């Protein structure tokens, strides 16, 4: 066995009538677990090496409960007391390394790790995750296979009930699995499992945070944080603004927002922003946008593509009210900034 492991978790999940996993809930994943613990658990569940998701029978659940009861992991012991009484399918998922997930339980564990703040966006390998996440109906009775939905709806009606379908998607809402400390989320359906919500963040009703994306700390989110985008502490995303993620046109460029930035209402971002930057309301800045670079006196020094300003700090992007051209001002001389842009060191 390896001397170091990436993660370990025991969870409960849902399966369809064909025995395929639909989703898995891990109440308390262990990040970077002690190798000795894995060895003890391996003797109980038959784990040898590699990344594995092992479905657990009742005898194994009871043995795991005893193993945790003998350890100093009280939270895990308390969880096992509840799991042994459940009739839902149980699984132990061990990630020896951070290679791409190969099963639905592995994929769900990695999403949990991000939402539990164990790893930040881009901090774990999610390659090939989409085929591992079944598109299911998320209902008040849990996840239901789409091929089985009509029958379940009829069953509910026959009992005089309504099976409420809140969404049909590959990703569930984060708060049904993880509720991070110190956050406010006005509309929980708009934050997907796999989002990283930093402590102190407020997400208003129109705010949206995709998986593998989020905020590092205190932020106000009234706009869209697309997949792969990370927002620095103290930044404000105004109502209706959007960030271009790797799934929506950003390609391999990782879009990010630095600390203390402001994206105005209905603004858009398609380049990485440095710290203390502002994009005025209604302005969408992409890498190819033509920008008039202004000096301290408001005179045009050079016309550049916005991509050349990526990750630079203290910038204000605005539209000229007369010409409509995009302009960029800086707290420093634009000439100094221009020299920095063309430096090759």
C-alpha to C-alpha distance for 307 and 319, rounded to whole angstroms: 17
Predicted TM-score (pTM) of this structure: 0.92
Is residue 326 scored above 60 in pLDDT?
A: yes
Is residue 122 scored above 90 in pLDDT?
A: yes
C-alpha to C-alpha distance for 141 and 341, rounded to whole angstroms: 56
Domain membership flag for residue 133: no
How many CB atoms are located within 10 Å of the residue 245 CB? 21
Contacts of residue 43, defined as CB under 8 A and 6 or more positions apart, other chains included, come to none
Predicted local distance difference test score (pLDDT) of residue 209 = 98
Is residue 344 scored above 60 in pLDDT?
A: no
Predicted local distance difference test score (pLDDT) of residue 36 = 85
Contact 224, 243 (CB under 8 A): yes
Q: Which of 146, 169, 192 is the last residue of a domain?
A: 169
Q: What is the mean pLDDT of residues 3-13?
A: 87
Q: What is the mean pLDDT of residues 80-109?
A: 95
Is residue 333 scored above 50 in pLDDT?
A: no
DSSP letter assigned to residue 172:
-
| Residues 104, 53 share a domain | yes
C-alpha to C-alpha distance for 165 and 18, rounded to whole angstroms: 21
Domain membership flag for residue 216: yes
C-alpha to C-alpha distance for 130 and 247, rounded to whole angstroms: 12
Residue range(s) defining the domain that contains residue 151: 138-169
Contacts 24+ apart (CB under 8 A), 44-50: 45/92, 47/92, 47/94, 48/1, 49/1, 49/2, 49/96, 50/96
| Residues 268, 151 share a domain | no
pLDDT band at 38 (very low <50, low <70, confident <90, very high): confident
| Residues 215, 254 share a domain | yes
Residue 186 structure tokens? 């006005």
Active site residues: 222
Domain membership flag for residue 237: yes
Domain membership flag for residue 132: no
pLDDT digits (tens, 9 = 90+) for 277-310: 999 999 999 999 999 999 888 899 999 999 999 9
C-alpha to C-alpha distance for 212 and 197, rounded to whole angstroms: 10
pLDDT band at 341 (very low <50, low <70, confident <90, very high): very low
| Residues 267, 159 share a domain | no
For the chain, the domain total comes to 3
Identify the CATH number of the domain in which residue 70 sits: 3.30.70.2010
């Amino acid at each position: 066995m390896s001397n170091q492991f990436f993660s370990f978790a025991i969870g409960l999940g849902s399966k369809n009538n064909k025995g395929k996993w639909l989703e898995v809930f891990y109440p308390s994943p262990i990040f970077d677990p002690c190798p000795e613990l894995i060895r003890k658990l391996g003797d109980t569940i038959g784990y040898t090496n590699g990344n594995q998701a092992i479905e657990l029978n009742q005898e194994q659940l009871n043995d795991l409960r005893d193993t945790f009861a003998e350890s100093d992991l009280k939270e895990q012991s308390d969880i096992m007391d509840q799991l042994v009484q459940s009739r839902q399918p149980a699984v132990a998922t061990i990630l020896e390394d951070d290679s791409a997930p190969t099963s639905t339980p592995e994929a769900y564990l990695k999403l949990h790790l991000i939402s539990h703040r164990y790893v930040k966006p881009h901090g774990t390998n999610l390659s090939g995750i989409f085929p591992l996440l079944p598109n299911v109906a998320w209902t008040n009775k849990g996840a239901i296979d789409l091929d089985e939905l009509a029958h379940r709806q009829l069953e509910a009606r026959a009992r005089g009930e309504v099976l409420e379908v809140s969404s049909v998607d590959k990703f569930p809402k984060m708060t049904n699995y993880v509720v991070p400390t110190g956050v406010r989320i006005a509309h929980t359906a708009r934050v997907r499992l796999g989002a990283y919500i930093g402590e102190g963040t407020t997400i208003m009703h129109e705010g949206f945070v995709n998986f593998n994306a989020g905020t590092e700390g205190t932020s106000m989110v009234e706009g869209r944080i697309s997949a792969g985008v990370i927002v620095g502490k103290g930044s404000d995303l105004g109502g209706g603004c959007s960030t271009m993620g790797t799934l929506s046109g950003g390609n391999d460029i990782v879009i990010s927002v630095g600390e203390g930035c402001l994206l105005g209402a209905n603004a858009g971002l398609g380049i990485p922003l440095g710290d203390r930057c502002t994009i005025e309301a209604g302005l969408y800045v992409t890498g190819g946008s033509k920008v008039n670079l202004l000096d301290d006196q408001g005179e045009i020094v050079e016309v550049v593509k916005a991509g050349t300003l990526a990750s630079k700090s203290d910038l204000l992007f605005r539209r000229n009210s007369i010409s409509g051209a995009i302009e960029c001002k800086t707290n420093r001389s634009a000439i100094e900034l221009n020299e920095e842009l063309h430096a090759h060191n």
